[in-house]
């Protein structure tokens, strides 16, 4: 169908794009806006590589229609460097060897961010629960869980 | 995905207007977690006007009347699983919604979409069946109420017309004495489509005599089902170990009876029997002592 105008807040800045509302949000981010940080793994909601925060909630952007971005507030990995929680999570991932090939990392960081926004002092079980929708084929998850735990502790100081 | 037109509505009235104005087929879009997966194949929605109801505030959230919980059709599984009213009056539903997909899916996927999609593996169906839930369905501004189990015709098919909007799931409030158990069997701990769910709800009097009993299996039959004959096996009785074994056998015997003998029957029938026995032993632990 023909393009429509979509207005939303992305990484705390207002945006308006003209695009096909039948596209996926993932494609608007990557193709229309050139934000390549959000990855596509499975395209069917199973791997979490495309996780973004939509109106405060972690969601898979491969399963959101572009039209549904209208008036929304969206955070992607690109917005994490301007945010204390986001920055600390990223640092802890790098320092804790929670990144190997890195393909899953943006998705994990967005899930971790959503968790720490809601629950600044999660238990290890709560961390595991929050990242259960993200797959990583390199790290074995333990360094990722450790990194999120460390980020929570660092932020609490 | 290819679509013909996209309309976002903010009220139920606006939905009816958009549905009336659309020429050609319409597709209701809620959380989109089924629609976007289906839309990857064969341009299934290319002629459709997609009407996005997720922004309709009146369809989100849970409220109560004296006897009922009223759950808006666009309430997400995550919201239902944490809702204080649902946890108090229908905790089996909170548990079923909490078992859906991953957090990312639950944050988006709605209870109305779960039902309308009519997958036999939908996790809320067995819980809603034993709760005797009803649906409020609106067409062109006129509302009707149907038992939840009545809308399903076969796997992935309902008797809903394209302009029928599920607006509310009505769930009778359960007393604190009601005991329940919900078991989901899947391939992966989270994010797995159910191979089977077993949902049980029961109530006893002070003497341990069962006054109400519903038990069903999900992801196994073409549509959600209740079994009055199975309920009758325990109602009026103080159950013994023999009764439990009998109910578990009768329930698992429904599998070949209703779904026919399939490759999976050899696996599903004993699993159903074992889970049912375990569930009932847990629920009647104090009575069996
Ligand atoms: C990765 C992944 C994991 C999943 N895991 C599970 C799981 O564990 N258990 C489970 O049960 N499901 C699971 N699902 C399936 C899906 O998430 C659920 O069925 C969900 O509840 C669908 O809701 P939705 O709002 O996303 O529906 P949508 O995709 O928006 O719609 C689904 C269908 O319902 C119709 N519809 C939606 N709302 C209404 C309404 N109010 N009135 C009438 N028709 C309507 C739509 O037209 C469409 O046909 C999973 C999906 C994914 C992608
Ligand atoms: S690409 Fe979206 S979940 Fe895998
Ligand atoms: S680091 Fe390679 S998939 Fe996670």
Instruction: Decide yes or no: CATH 3.30.390.50 for domain B179-283.
Output: yes
| Number of domains within chain A | 2
- C-alpha to C-alpha distance for B285 and A52, rounded to whole angstroms: 45
| Model confidence band, residue A35 (pLDDT cutoffs 50, 70, 90) | very high
Closest ligand relative to A97 C-alpha: 3
Strands B68-72 and B62-64: antiparallel
Q: Which CATH architecture describes the domain B59-172?
A: 2-Layer Sandwich (3.30)
pLDDT at A157: 87
Give start-end residues of each CATH 3.30.390.50 domain in chain B.
Answer: 179-283
Strands B49-52 and B5-8: parallel
Mean pLDDT of B53-61: 98
| Whether residue A71 is found in the same domain as residue A105 | no
Q: Which of B150, B184, B152, B165 is nearest to B110 (CA)?
A: B165
pLDDT at B267: 84
Which of A25, A58, A76 is the C-terminal boundary of a domain?
A76
Query: How far apart are the CA of A56 and the nearest CA of chain B, in angstroms?
Result: 10
| Whether residue A99 is found in the same domain as residue A72 | no
CB contact under 8 A, A65 and B5: no
Q: Report the residue from A1, A45, A48 with minimal CB separation from B37.
A: A45
Searching chain B, which residue's CA lies closest to the CA of residue A45? B105
State what percent of residues in chain B have pLDDT above 90: 88
- C-alpha to C-alpha distance for A114 and A153, rounded to whole angstroms: 16
Distance (angstroms) between ligand 3 centre and the Cα of A29 equals 21
| Whether residue A88 is found in the same domain as residue A152 | yes
CB contact under 8 A, A45 and B50: no
Which protein residue's CA is at the shortest distance from atom 3 of ligand 3? Answer: A136
Phi, psi of B263 (to 5 degrees): -55, -40
Distance (angstroms) between ligand 3 centre and the Cα of A55 equals 27
| Whether residue A108 is found in the same domain as residue A44 | no
Which protein residue's CA is at the shortest distance from atom 3 of ligand 2? Answer: A45
Which of A33, A48, A76 is the C-terminal boundary of a domain?
A76
Instruction: Show residues of chain B in contact with A70, CB under 8 Å.
Output: 8
Angle at B121 between CA B170 and CA A23, to 5 degrees: 90
ipTM of the complex in this document: 0.96
| Model confidence band, residue B190 (pLDDT cutoffs 50, 70, 90) | low
| Whether residue A18 is found in the same domain as residue A61 | yes
Ligand 3 atom index nearest CA of A101: 2
| Whether residue A89 is found in the same domain as residue A117 | yes
| Whether residue A8 is found in the same domain as residue A72 | yes
pLDDT at B261: 78
Task: Please give, one letter per residue, the 3-state secondary structure of chain A.
Answer: CCCEEEEEEECCEEEEEEECCCCEHHHHHHHHCCCCCCCCCCCCCCCCCCEEEECCEEEEHHHCEHHHHCCCEEECHHHHHHCHHHHHHHHHHHHCCCCCCCCCHHHHHHHHHHHHHHCCCCCHHHHHHHCCCCCCCCCCCHHHHHHHHHHHHHHHC
Which of A76, A98, A126 is the C-terminal boundary of a domain?
A76
pLDDT at B112: 98
| Residue A24 lies in domain | 4-76
- C-alpha to C-alpha distance for B108 and A64, rounded to whole angstroms: 9
Q: What is the CATH number of the domain that holds A28?
A: 3.10.20.30
Whether the CB-CB separation of A86 and A12 falls below 8 Å is answered with: no
| Model confidence band, residue B262 (pLDDT cutoffs 50, 70, 90) | confident
| Whether residue A116 is found in the same domain as residue A60 | no
Which two three-digit tokens encode residue B122?
């939908």
Q: What is the pTM of this model?
A: 0.96
Instruction: Show residues of chain A in contact with B31, CB under 8 Å.
Output: 63
Give start-end residues of each CATH 3.30.465.10 domain in chain B.
Answer: 59-172
């Amino acid at each position: 169908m023909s393009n429509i105008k979509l207005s939303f807040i992305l990484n705390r800045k207002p945006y308006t794009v003209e695009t096909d509302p039948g596209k996926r949000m993932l494609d608007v981010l990557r193709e229309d806006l050139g934000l390549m940080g959000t990855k596509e793994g499975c395209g069917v909601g199973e791997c979490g590589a495309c996780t973004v925060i939509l109106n405060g909630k972690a969601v898979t952007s491969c399963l959101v229609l572009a039209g549904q971005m209208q008036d929304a507030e969206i955070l992607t990995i690109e917005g994490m460097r301007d945010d204390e929680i986001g920055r600390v999570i990223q640092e802890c991932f790098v320092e804790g060897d929670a990144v190997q090939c890195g393909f899953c990392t943006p998705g994990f960081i967005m899930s971790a961010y959503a968790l720490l926004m809601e629950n600044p002092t999660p238990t290890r079980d709560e961390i595991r629960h929050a990242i259960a929708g993200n797959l990583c084929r390199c790290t074995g998850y333990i360094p990722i869980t450790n990194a999120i735990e460390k980020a929570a502790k660092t932020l609490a100081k | 995905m290819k679509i013909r037109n996209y309309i976002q509505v903010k009220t139920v009235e606006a939905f009816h207007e958009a549905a009336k104005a659309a020429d050609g087929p319409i597709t209701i879009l809620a959380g989109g977690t089924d629609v976007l997966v289906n839309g990857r194949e064969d341009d299934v929605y290319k002629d459709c006007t997609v009407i996005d109801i997720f922004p309709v505030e009146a369809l989100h959230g849970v409220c109560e009347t004296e006897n009922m919980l009223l759950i808006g059709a666009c309430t997400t599984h995550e919201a239902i699983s944490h809702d204080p009213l649902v946890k108090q009056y229908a905790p089996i539903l909170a548990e079923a919604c909490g078992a859906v997909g991953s957090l990312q899916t639950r944050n988006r996927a709605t209870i109305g979409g779960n039902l309308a999609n009519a997958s036999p593996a939908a996790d809320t169906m067995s819980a809603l069946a034993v709760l005797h839930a009803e649906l409020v369905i609106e067409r062109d501004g006129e509302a009707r109420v149907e038992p939840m189990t009545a809308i399903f015709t076969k796997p992935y098919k309902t008797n809903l017309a394209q302009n029928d909007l599920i607006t509310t799931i009505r769930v009778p409030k359960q007393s604190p004495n009601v005991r329940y158990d919900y078991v989901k069997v899947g391939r992966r701990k989270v994010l797995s489509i159910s191979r089977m769910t077993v949902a049980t709800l029961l109530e006893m009097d002070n003497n341990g005599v069962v006054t109400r009993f519903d038990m069903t299996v999900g992801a196994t039959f073409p549509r959600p089902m209740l079994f009055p004959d199975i309920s009758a096996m325990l109602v009026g009785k103080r159950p013994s170990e023999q009764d439990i074994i009998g109910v578990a056998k009768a329930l698992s015997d429904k599998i070949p009876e209703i779904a026919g003998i399939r490759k999976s029957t050899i696996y599903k029938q004993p699993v159903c029997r074992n889970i049912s026995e375990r569930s009932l032993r847990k629920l009647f632990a104090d009575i069996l002592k």
